Structure 1
Amino acid sequence: MGEYLQEFVDDTTWFNQLVLGYLLPTKLWDPLPHILQTWLRNYIAGNLLYFISGFLWCFYIYYLKRNVYLPKDAIPTNKAMLLQIYVAMKAMPWYTALPTISEYMIENRWTKCYARISDVGWLMYAVYLFIYLAIVEFGIYWMHRELHDIKPLYKYLHATHHIYNKQNTLSPFAGLAFHPLDGILQAIPHVIVLFILPTHFRTHIGLIFLEGIWTTNIHDCIHGKLWPIMGAGYHTIHHTTYRHNYGHYTIWMDWMLGTLRDPIDDEGKKEM
């Protein structure tokens, strides 16, 4: 195994030991093949991220700041949130298979990943990261839009997520409440980009897990008013109209392609 390839294996081994070594007895995970250790690490980390971010955010907006950000009738019931958790938990083993597969491909040098920022320098790291995010934004926009436009995909996959179509049915826990294949399809641009662009390995892993935090945020129905970020105000409109605001981190794709609907404009229309 070449030294450069070994750096990727060393990184994933360290990630595995960091998560599994602290949470599980060594005898339970150490005998497993490396790829199963990686999946178990991603599964545990994914669940921790989902529950910690979800519970903290719900506690803050529904209890500490109750009626500050959202009116009482916009707060989802505990039953609705438990259903969202149930759907997300059924999908989580499959969601976490995607970063496991991407790490396997990186370790086997099938991608253009590089191990250290010093391999390319800080300037090119920043340039590649910008292009990475642009490609992901483009890919997720079109994947999301096609999940609506192609009727069988919507009926059998994406409709699972769109039963949450009012403020009082949306919560941070809805962020991962998808059909497993739907969630994977919307995250797969993160993997495709590895084959076409030099990508820093640890940044890629970090961005995959940032998705979990981001999806928590955009389902809380609070309009952050931070242009050009595609925050929860925009995404709530997506859940109520089904035909607008397909974007992910920013509004750019929707703006360019005519699918943008601004929550401030919506509020103005309601008040007229």
Structure 2
Amino acid sequence: MESGQYLKLFEDEATFYNHIILGNLLPGRLWDPLPHFFQTWLRNYVAGTLLYLISGFLWCFYIYYLKRNVYLHKDAIPSNKAMLLQIYVAMKAMPWYCALPSISEYMIENGWTKCFSRISDVGWPAYLIYLVINLVLVEFGIYWMHRELHDIKPLYKYLHATHHIYNKQNTLSPFAGLAFHPLDGIMQALPHVVALFFVPMHFTTHLALLFLEAIWTANIHDCINANIWPVMGAGYHTIHHTTYRHNYGHFSIWMDWMFGTLQNPIDDDGSKKMM
């Protein structure tokens, strides 16, 4: 297949996703005249907002009401005011967050990255190998981006401090997962896009990973210590919000272990979970 024909596969797939989201969730066809890029951005904005709000409300309802005092002591449950503030901060940033996947799709559709359209183009073994390498690069990139947002004082003061006003169990909630300064949130997701220039990546998998960030960040801000090694769960991330100097990792604890910033949560018996 010629290069132009192959790139058309990416655009056709993006158009298909646009019609699924916009055609079913927005009235009429008012979005049809928009250029393809802006349709993609609007689709990402609508889908991202719904994913954030629905997953956040369901998770909060489950742990704070259905399972009240089971996972968290009543003094650790954040107030409605704190959660509404987090939603407000996230909603202000959401239009900017959605620019990143829209730009990454534009670059993919124009052949600037190593993305491939179909798993059959490389085969399942290669797909899985590429996926693992991609996730390692993303983990490495997010770790150092997050760490520098703490270590470089102006970045912390003007960007990352917006997120760290939530620094105790009774202020952290799943809604805090996307409550960032817009540029901060984009910088921490940027490794997902940068990795596309170095490792072949399946287009749909790339999009799915970007949107799964909303669910993952909700999970690591719920303060529940699940102790699933080597996952960077909420137990580890709550420590990050209280010490500011540990557990910068995203999906796993490996980078913190490698670079000496790991601090383990304390188990119910008072001992620390060890590697």
TM bucket (normalised to shorter chain) is over 0.9
Residue 28 of structure 1: how far off its partner (Å): 1.1
2:234 counterpart residue number: 232
Matches within 5 A, 1:175-214: 175-214=177-216
Deviations 1:144-177 (A, max 9, x none): 0000000000000000000000000000000000
Aligned-partner Cα distance in 2 for 1:32–1:73? 49
Greater helix fraction, Structure 1 or Structure 2: 1
Pick closer, same or farther for the CA change 1:67–1:82 going to 2, 3 Å. Answer: same
2:29 counterpart SS class: helix
Aligned-partner Cα distance in 2 for 1:267–1:196? 45
Deviations 1:108-165 (A, max 9, x none): 0011100000110000000000000000000000000000000000000000000000
2:222 counterpart SS class: coil
- The alignment of Structure 1 onto Structure 2 pairs a total of residues equal to 270
The letter of the residue matching 2:173 is S
The letter of the residue matching 1:216 is A
Q: List 4+ stretches of structure 1 deviating above 3 A.
A: none
1:93 counterpart residue number: 95
Residue 27 of structure 1: how far off its partner (Å): 2.6
Pick closer, same or farther for the CA change 1:266–1:59 going to 2, 3 Å. Answer: closer
Residue 39 of structure 1: how far off its partner (Å): 0.3
Of 14, 18, 21 in structure 1, the residue corresponding to residue 20 of structure 2 is 18
1:5 counterpart residue number: 7
1:245 counterpart residue number: 247
2:79 counterpart residue number: 77
1:28 counterpart residue number: 30
Structure 1: which 5+ residue stretches go unaligned? none
TM-score, normalization by structure 1: 0.97
1:162 counterpart SS class: helix
Asked if the contact 2:23–2:29 (Cα under 8 Å) also holds between the matched residues in 1, the reply is no
2:221 counterpart residue number: 219
Aligned-partner Cα distance in 2 for 1:266–1:195? 44
Aligned-partner Cα distance in 2 for 1:26–1:104? 25
Aligned-partner Cα distance in 2 for 1:67–1:266? 15
Of 161, 171, 176 in structure 2, the residue corresponding to residue 174 of structure 1 is 176
1:29 counterpart SS class: coil
The letter of the residue matching 2:21 is V
Residue 2 of structure 1: how far off its partner (Å): 1.7
The letter of the residue matching 1:133 is L
Aligned-partner Cα distance in 2 for 1:268–1:151? 34
Aligned-partner Cα distance in 2 for 1:45–1:11? 16
The letter of the residue matching 2:258 is M
Of 137, 150, 153 in structure 2, the residue corresponding to residue 148 of structure 1 is 150
Aligned-partner Cα distance in 1 for 2:201–2:40? 20
Structure 2: which 5+ residue stretches go unaligned? none
2:52 counterpart residue number: 50
1:158 counterpart residue number: 160
Q: CA RMSD in A?
A: 1.3
Asked if the contact 2:236–2:264 (Cα under 8 Å) also holds between the matched residues in 1, the reply is yes
Residue 265 of structure 1: how far off its partner (Å): 6.3
TM-score, normalization by structure 2: 0.96
Residue 26 of structure 1: how far off its partner (Å): 3.7
